[in-house]
Structure formats: structure tokens, C-alpha cells
Amino acid sequence: MASTPAALLIMAAATFAPLAPAPVAPASVERGRVDGAAPDAPSLADVFPTSVPAAVDRYAFDPLGDDWTAWGEATSRAVTTLYRSDAPAARQRAAIAVLRSAVKQLGDAARDPGYAAMRPALLELRGALDRRSALAAATLDALAAAEKTPVDVAREGANARLGQALATLRADLAAIPGGERWLPVARADRLDAVAAGRDGADVRSVLTAVTNDLADPTVYPTEQAAFLARPAWRRLAAAAAVRLALAPGSDAAQTPRALDAVTVALRQFVQAFERYEADSTDEAARALAGAAGDLAAVAPSAGGAIEDLVDDLYDGDNFRVAISEGFLRRFVAQTRREVGPVSDVAFGARVRGVQETDVDVDVDVRPEVGAARFEVTLNGVARTSTVARTREARVSTSGRHRFEARKSVVYDGTRFRTGRTRVDVDPYLRNTSIQTSYDDLAGGLLRDVIQREAFAQAGQRQPAALARVERQLAAALRPQLDRQLDEQFDVVNLQVGGLFRQRAARLGVAPSRESISSTEEELRVFLRMTGDEELAAPAPPRRPFVEDGVVAQIHQSALNNSADRLNLAGRTLTPDELGGVIREFFGELFGRTIPAPPPAEPSVGEEPPPTLTFADADPIRVRFAANTVILTVRVGLAAPPRPDGSPGEDVPPQRVAIPFAVSVTEAGDLVLNRGSLSVAPLGRPESRFRQQAIARVLRARLGDALPESSVIPANTVVATDSQTRITLRLASLELADGWATAVLR
């Protein structure tokens, strides 16, 4: 087992991996100096949290091992500089430079075969450092730009955002019976005046009251807290906080600045950023977009830096497939031999004989931008042996005709379009013998003369005969290739380009953006699977090139966005009902019925499966990290009635994180090993003791329902035609930094 290439590579990496060069902190980080930097430029002190996020704290470097200790300590010091309240902007910019160098080193190591065993850990840390350094740089740029923004411009933009938030809240409340009774809580009439530019003497007190009342919904009773956590209320709270920063202070000397409002909006943005990095919730995505919109309204130049950051980190394609030419060839390529009679009339002669044709069908991927293009080719040789008869002569001819037919196929993201078939024929004919009715004249004495004359006359017709063969072969090949490919792709277009897309759009999982291309070596299909107010992906890790397979990369955002379409939020379901919902969804998507598995016989004394109550938001989330799938469900348990018929005590929805270590066997099966479940409250718990009891119940019930280890067959048999079957095997699977990279062969 240890002699397999994969095992040898892991052993070599563990035994001979060299020390990574440790980045040396620039002197400017230690002394707080950067040439050309303003000494009093605003820093991250009022924007970034005072504690380093877990994804980049000093413990995040431990998975790299002892060989990286010195490097990790130097890099960790640079990270800490971003979160120190006493670090000036110049020192923080120098720290960003150190982190960018560290990101490059981690990327180089991840591409080094000597570090293959620790590649997921390298990619995990690289992504976390890359995004925080980009966030810090964009935040410093936004703060610097805000200093040049006139306060009147900032106040006008904040008023507009406040008015939009009020309009959104009114529309939300109008859809709720009695919802207008909540408008006084928002001080809507007074905020209308502020949004219209009529500040009044009490503007600060009004905005302060609204901000304080809405700051933390969890301080209210459960039902009120859930109501005030609705997106419209959260947007109003954020807009009011930004506008409050521009209100005159109690001290006349406290003159509001655009920088003050930008600082508040940036703080909200950074908080939402960390929430989204940790949990990928819809609430965090909305807060990110809202804070970016506030910044763009208050200080357009500052908002531009943040909007560029969002585009770089969360607007990339989150589903990418590369199909190699070698893999396509497995489905298309074939060699066949055809033998058939020849019966024709040419130049007044009856032609009879036999033709034997060897044909190779192949595929040739061609470069294209905006579409994927490949050519299906027919290369072959037609060998003929014929006899042409007239009343005067009998001519035997052998032929060897090489031909090539090419038909272009272009996929533009919606349908396959076939082009014109081009046929090239290189005919060759040789007259092997001629018998004439004059061969025996004069007792055969003139045979040689007659034969020479007959061959000469036949040779004069050779160009016309070759042209005729070329026309006939082209006329036979062109409709054959046209008919075969057009019929095949008409079916594909109907099923995939038509019906499948209609079903995907109906279910809300149609891609919002597509990028299709091809190179000399592969077809590429990149999709962005998002809806309104949903985020996508950063750049993926470098994928391997596989000559005879498929490489698929999917970001966790594609799965999380699709999971929302299951409409599980707020529903109460048994495990069987949950399975039915999932089967119905994918059955409708793929246009087929997915049968339910046979019911398992319960063991004696076994408790019935738990009835699940999903939270009203983000019921299911998935995260990919260091070859681990972390499934986060926001779920509670619906208690069965008590023996006396009274309702049981339900377990309210909790945040339950379930890690699964992922590996692939040599046979291509997927192995999931479940780790320990962690349970946390969604809001403020009623009591610590009750929360501990709830956590114990959930861990026990859900832990019993989930096997500790599962083996999932990952091989798929695909039919290329009525007789040929190809088995697709999962060759490798890597999970790191939110991306799953699978290689199929």
C-alpha cells in the first residue's frame, strides 16, 4: 500500500520537505515608517476589531508544522499589527506588504509537489491572509479618500440612504397585518424629516434613540427579537447609525466630518465581512452590500475602494468545469471498418466491385473566447477494387482514397450549434489490367500494342475519374456527418439547453453569469450561481491539468445559494420528509423521478427519528476547509406529545456544526468520517443551564441519526452510445479555502 505513487509522495513530503523561507518583517513595520505616507493618516483602529479573527490568529499557523514556526511567528506579528489600536496607518500599510509577501510564499509552496501533503492547509491559510490583507488595504484607502469628501456631500448621501431604508421598512410592514403599528418604534415620521434634510434641534437624540433601540434585537423577548431581526429593520439600524455620525454634537466644537460616517459604515462592513467569512449567512451578505452602498453614497471615492474589494472577493464564478480533449476523445473517438459493394455507371461503363473503408472518428478542441469550440473529424482510407465493363473492354482498377471530414461544433452557453462540414479527399486510382475485344486479333500478335493503347486511353480519363471519386466521397461523407451530429445535438439542445434550463430557472438555480471558452487542450465552462443579494466566490486555487479527465471546482457559495432554494426555512420535517423534499427538488431539476430508499426496520427499543424544526433563516450552510466539510444546520427538535396528550417541550433552533473529514479511496469511493457536533444558541439563551441541556439533547439525537463513518460510491457509468459504457472514477478530491476541487477520470 505504501508503494503507491500517492503514498510515496506523502512520505517524501513528510521526510524531505525543505524549510520554507521565512519572510523578514520590513524595518518600516518595526519603526512605523513608510516612505511617502502621511504621519497622521487615519488607521484601522476605529474600524477593525481589537481581537484577531480565529482564521488568522497565531493558532491558525499551527497546521503548517514545526518547520514553519519561525515563518509563522513573523507573519503573525504582521497580522496583529492590523488589529492593534495604537498602530499608525504607516505601520499597518507596511504590515500589509508583509502579508502580501506571505500570501505569495504560501501560494508558491502549494504549487510545490514537495508540499503536496500539506497543500490544503497552505491554501486555507493563504486565502484567509489574502482576504484580510485586501480588506485592510481597501479600508485604509477608503479612510484616506473620506478625508477629502465635503461633509455636505456625505450628509446628502446619508439622508438618501436613510430615506431608502424607511421606504423598504414601510413596504415590509405593509405586507404584515397590523405592521404599521410598528412605525412609531422606528420614529418614522421624525426620520422622514431627517431624510428630507430637515434636521431640527433633536436630530441627534432621535437618531441615537433609533440606533440604541435597534442595535441588538436579542435583548428583547423571543418574538420581538425575531421581528426586529428582519432585514428591513437591520438596514434601517445601519443607515441610522451612519447618519448619526454626521449629526451635530452637543459641543459646538464637535464638527461632523465625512470621515466619521465612513468610519461607522466601514466598521459595519468589517463586522459583516467576518460574519460572512465564518458562516456565509444571508444576513451577513445583506449587511455587506448595505454597508458598501452606504459608503458609496456618503463618500463615493471611499465606496469605490470597497465595491472593488467586494467584486474581487465575492463576485467570481463559483462553479468551474474544465473538460480535457483527451476526455472528450473517450466519448467521441471510434474506429470502424465498413465493407460494401460498388455499383455505378461511369463514362459509359458499368462499374462493379467492392469497397473497404477504415474510418477514425476523433475530436479536436480549438481556441475560442466567449464560446467553446471543437471539431469532430472523420479520417480514413477507402480501398476499392472495381471492374469497368463496356462492349469493347474490361478495365480492372484498384483505388486508395484518403479523406478527412471536419464539422465544427460551438457551445455558447445555451445551445450547441453545428457548422458547415468540410471534406478533403485525396483520391488515388491505378488501372491494374485491361482486357479488350481486340486482344486476340492476328492471333494475339498485336496484343502488346493494343494494351499500350488501351492503357493510354484509360490514363487520359484518369483526371476525370479522380475528380468523380472525390465528388462521390464528399457527397457521401458530408450528409452522413451532418445527419449524425445534427440529430445528436438537437436532442442535447432540447434536454439541456431547453428543458433543463427552464426547470433550473423555475427552481431558481439557473446561473446568473456564464463564461464559456476553449483552448487547444480543453473546454471551459465557468458559472456564477447567485441570486439577488447573494455573494459568489474569490479566485479559486490553481487546478491541476488532467490530459484525460475532467476537473470540477465548486465553491461553497454555489451550494449554499442552491440550498436556500430547498425552502426549508421555518419548516418542521421528519428525516423521511426532508429526504422527500430533496428528492423532489432534484427530480424536478433533472426531469426524472428519484425513488426513495427502502425504509429501515427500527431496532427494538430504538427511539423514533427526531422531527426537525428549521430556523427561519440560513437553515443549511456548508463550508469547505482543509479536506473537511463543515455542515452547519440551524435546527431544533419538535417534541412528541406527552403520554397524557399535552404537547411536549420543543427544542428551539440552534446552530449545530457537524464536521466531516473527507478522503477518497483508491477505488474512487468517497469516505466521510464525522467529528464531534458543536451546538450554540442562535440568540441570547434564557439561561446557561437550559442551554447546556439543549446542547446535550441535540448532540445526542442528531449524533445518533448520523453515522460516524460513511462510504459513498463515487463512480459513474456513462453511455457513449448503445454499446459502449465508460466508467468515471473520482480520482482525487481536495477541499480548501471554500473550494472543492475534484478530478474525474
Cell of 365: 478542441
Among the listed residues 541, 527, 420, the one whose alpha carbon sits nearest the alpha carbon of residue 122: 541
Question: What whole-number distance in Å separates Cα of residue 473 and Cα of residue 421?
Answer: 13
pLDDT 10s digits, 194-220: 999 887 778 899 999 999 999 988 888
Q: How far apart are CA 8 and CA 15, in angstroms?
A: 10
pLDDT of residue 651: 83
Digit-coded pLDDT (tens) for 422-436: 889 899 888 888 888
CB 739 within 8 A of CB 541: yes
Residue 509: predicted pLDDT: 79
Q: Around Cβ 212, how many Cβ atoms within 10 Å?
A: 13
pLDDT of residue 29: 54
End-to-end CA distance of the chain: 21
By the 8 A CB rule, do 693 and 680 touch?
Answer: no
C-alpha span between 123 and 54 (Å, rounded): 16
Residue 495: phi and psi, rounded to 5, are -75, -45
Q: 3-class SS at 428?
A: coil
pLDDT at residue number 8: 29
H/E segment holding residue 81: helix 69-82
Low-confidence ranges of the chain (pLDDT < 70): 1-39, 250-254, 442-444, 491-492, 494-500, 589-592, 594, 599-607, 717-724
Pairing, β 739-744 against β 550-555: antiparallel
Contact 130, 103 (CB under 8 A): yes
> Residue 350: helix, strand or coil by DSSP?
strand
pLDDT of residue 14: 33
pTM above 0.95, yes or no: no
What distances in angstroms separate CA 438 from CA 346, 395, 444, 450, one per listed residue? Answer: 22, 14, 8, 7
Other C-beta atoms lying within 10 Å of the C-beta of residue 104: 13
Going 570 to 572 to 577 to 578, the CA torsion angle's sign is positive
Strand 670-674 and strand 368-369: the pairing is unpaired
Interaxial angle between packed helices 282-298 and 151-174, expressed in degrees from 0 to 180 and rounded to the nearest 10 = 140
Residue 614: its H or E element: strand 611-614
Confidence (pLDDT) at 590:
67
